[in-house]
Amino acid sequence: MGNNNGYLPLFETKSSRRPFLIKLYVLTIPVAICMIWVYRVRYLPVEGVLERWAWIGMFFAELWFSFYWFVTHLVRWNPIFRYTFKDRLSQRYEKDLPRVDIFVCTADPEMEPPIMVINTVLSMMAYDYPQEKLSVYLSDDGVSELTFYAMLEASRFSKYWLPFCKKFNVEPRSPEAYFQIEPLDEPVKTKEWLFIKKLYGDMKNRIEVTSKQGQVPEKIRKEHKGFSEWDFVSSRHDHQTIVEILIDGRDPLAMDNEGQRLPTLVYLSREKRPQYPHNFKAGAMNALIRVSSRISNGPIIMNVDCDMHSNNSSSLRDALCFFMDEEKGHEIGYVQYPQSMMNVTKNDLYGNSLNVIFKMEFPGIDANGGPMYIGTGCFHRRVSLCERKHCNEHKVDWKRMADIQIEGNARDIEEECKVLASCAYEENTQWGIEVGLKYGYLLEDGMTGFSIRCRGWRSVYFNPERKGFLGLAPTTLLQTLVQQERWSAGELQILLSRHGPFFDGYKNIPLKLLLSYCIYFLWAANCFPTLYYVVVPSLCLLRGISLFPKASSPWIQAFAYAFFADRAYGLVEFLWCDGTFQGWWNDQRIWMFKRTTSYLVGFCDTILKMLGFTNHAFVVTAKVASEDASKRYEQEIMEFGVPSPMFNILATLALLNIFSFIGGIKMVISDVENKVLDLFTSQIVLSGLIVWINLPVYEGLFFRKDSGRIPNSVTYKSLIVSLLACSIALH
């Protein structure tokens, strides 16, 4: 709709009307919650110290669950959805579209294979956008000549791939993803499809053969001067800056095979020295911000992880509809896309799709003020990263910015950029403090987005019908739990930071938005009430201590309704987000697993770091797995395989509950008057549900013979601890 002046916006926002049954559920659950509170206070045990403290612990756990439920549904109550008008953007600004700098980050050539990295790079180079205004940068923190060689190969292949994508409107524009699709029954297209596929296959084979050899052959090294830089590399943690402009988009000779301009393509490996902290991904991003300012200086920056290829060639134009909107665009600091995964199994074995979060929670957070920056698939306004505060009077002259030219030849610019990416450049500056991504945080992206919001910028969440980006999810249980541990610890660190919600946030961000962020800030803290509910009712069942109303009591209705209504709502929500029933059950399993392991470890690590006992280290999540593990993943068989403290916790809790469940059943069978069943039904059912959730754990402990089973060392330790706990409870 236009306003009184005839202005037509470049995007619109629509609210979602929630169905009546959903609203009824949200309104009735608080009634059940209040009844549970009344029951806990009214029937507090008078006799027995152990009984009283167990009861009080249950009450506090339920208070926490109630608070978290309230915050979650505050967020989901009124979600909004964004829609863009790319045709209007083209009509008004096609000749004045801004330069865009795209950052791709990689850190380890083994965990992030070069062929995967260049597929991401090629998909970014192939955006539906004026190529002379597009620059793609790869930051290689692994300083791998194998990755550099793959980039060199990609620069040559792009001369054929980009015009092919444009001519046939290819989607997706990652060659690996695209060539898994059968060609259309069109003779002309099929011929070109086969030709480009052969070019890609030959390139892929050369890269993979070189990667297996572990070094670039001397014959290939002579093809480009950049390889000589590796003669001076001592190790991945001790080397000079390497900057190579593989394609200079300003060069009139930088053309594809059909005579069209190619985008700028740059390889960067910033300097690292043992005596200087390198600040992980945040340090790499800040080096990219400085280097790109000298080479292309695009006012819009987009960053992705190396496993997140572009799945929608219009994503860049969609994002610009927000930034370039004449009325509201100047307020927007960044546009966040969801982190969608392409390799999740049919029933999402490890709960990695995050569909409910991105389809339900993020639209709600957007309605309350805007999403956090999640580190990938995000478009930034350069000034929001490099300047302190947003100015309401700030209007961008896009035409003037489009006319600015970068002076200097490529070789001279490379030398200047080596200084910008050196270790000493940031000394006695505000980089990592007030400028660029924040240092000293496990989730540097989350803290950076939070600080951008505190400086007055708005953020926007955009989830188009065709996914903007597709990435790779962890394919083993341990990878999933480690990733969740990092996320939960990072969010808690932000919460407790002196620049977090308690200090800077409440002054600059609306309370409703702060509460929305608390869904994630409090991830780690969820470990304690969850652990309490998993452990204490089972031990009290063995001890003969009842913690819930009798099955014959009317008070049981409040507990039953709160539990089953919440789970039923979760199931409906999961199915609405394109999940399956088995996928929902897998999600319940992972929900308990991560709360009792990842969140616990994340909470402890964060507190120990704040007390100065440990240091956080960035862990790269592996993007490859062994052939056997990959087969089991495709068959949806849970992968354990290696010893881990997290598996010790999982196995101990599983064994504790099956012992308690068996003990409870034994008590019911031996009870002639049926008083035990009336008194302990809820605790037996709770233990039974936990046992059912842990079926894959029991299989891994006792029945599986493959390499993905739980190691014997974990089995023995968990048996000893669980039996000891049961013995103490019985006596």
Secondary structure, 3-state, 255-277: ECCCCCECCEEEEEECCECCCCC
Residue type, 93: Y
The DSSP code sequence of 4-44 is TT----SEEEEEPPPPHHHHHHHHHHHHHHHHHHHHHHHT-
The β-bridge relationship of strands 100-106 and 300-305 is parallel
Q: What angle do CA 338, 440, 490 make, to 5 degrees?
A: 45
Catalytic-role residue among 101, 141, 307, 366: 141
Q: Is 256 a catalytic residue?
A: no
141 is catalytic: yes
Is 587 annotated to bind ligand? no
Return the bridge partners of 266, or none: 137, 245
Amino acid, single-letter form, for residue 522: L
Cβ atoms of 226 and 145 closer than 8 Å: no
Out of 307, 445, 587, 605, the active site residue is 445
For residue 634, the tally of other CB atoms under 10 A from its CB is 13
The CA distance from 126 to 104, in Å, is 14
| Interatomic CA distance for residues 665 and 677, integer angstroms | 9
User: Rounded CA gap, 686 and 661, in Å?
Assistant: 9
The answer to whether 112 is annotated as binding is yes
Residue in the block written with tokens 């068996």: 662
Contact 375, 281 (CB under 8 A): yes
> What distance in Å separates the CA atoms of residue 172 and residue 170, rounded to the nearest whole number?
6
Q: Please tell me the distance from the alpha carbon of residue 558 to that of residue 39, in angstroms, as a whole number.
A: 9
**Strand pairing partners for 531?**
none
CA distance 61 to 603: 17
User: Are 462 and 82 a contacting pair, CB within 8 Å?
Assistant: yes
Listed in sequence order, the residues at least 6 apart from 194 whose beta carbon sits closer than 8 Å to its beta carbon are 183
The tokens describing 92, both together, are 């008004």
For 535-670, where are the E strands, in sequence order?
none
Helices (H) and strands (E) in the chain, counts: 28, 13
Residue 407, marked binder? no
DSSP code per residue over 97-159: PPPEEEEEEE--TTTS-HHHHHHHHHHHHT-SS-GGGEEEEEEETT--HHHHHHHHHHHHHHH
Buried b (16+ CB within 10 A) or exposed e, 348-362: bbbbbbbbbebbbbb
Q: CB–CB of 486/397 below 8 Å? A: no
- Range 135-170 burial, b when 16+ CB lie within 10 A, else e: bbbbbbbbbbbbbbbbbbbbbebbbbbbbbbbebeb
- Interatomic CA distance for residues 35 and 554, integer angstroms: 11
Angle at 453 between CA 447 and CA 459, to 5 degrees: 105
Q: What is the DSSP string of 421-440?
A: TSGGGGTTS-BTTTBSSPSS
Of 330, 339, 332, 373, residue with least CA distance to 358: 339
Q: Closest Cα partner for 309 from 467, 174, 201, 197? A: 174
| Residue 219 is assigned to a ligand binding site | no
The whole-angstrom separation of Cα 389 and Cα 139 is 28
- What's the CA gap between 349 and 351, in Å, rounded? 6
Could you tell me if 418 and 309 are in contact, meaning their C-beta atoms sit under 8 angstroms apart? no
User: Which residues are the active-site residues?
Assistant: 141, 445
Known binding-site residues for Mn(2+) equal 281, 305
Known binding-site residues equal 112, 141, 281, 305
Known binding-site residues for UDP-alpha-D-glucose equal 112, 141
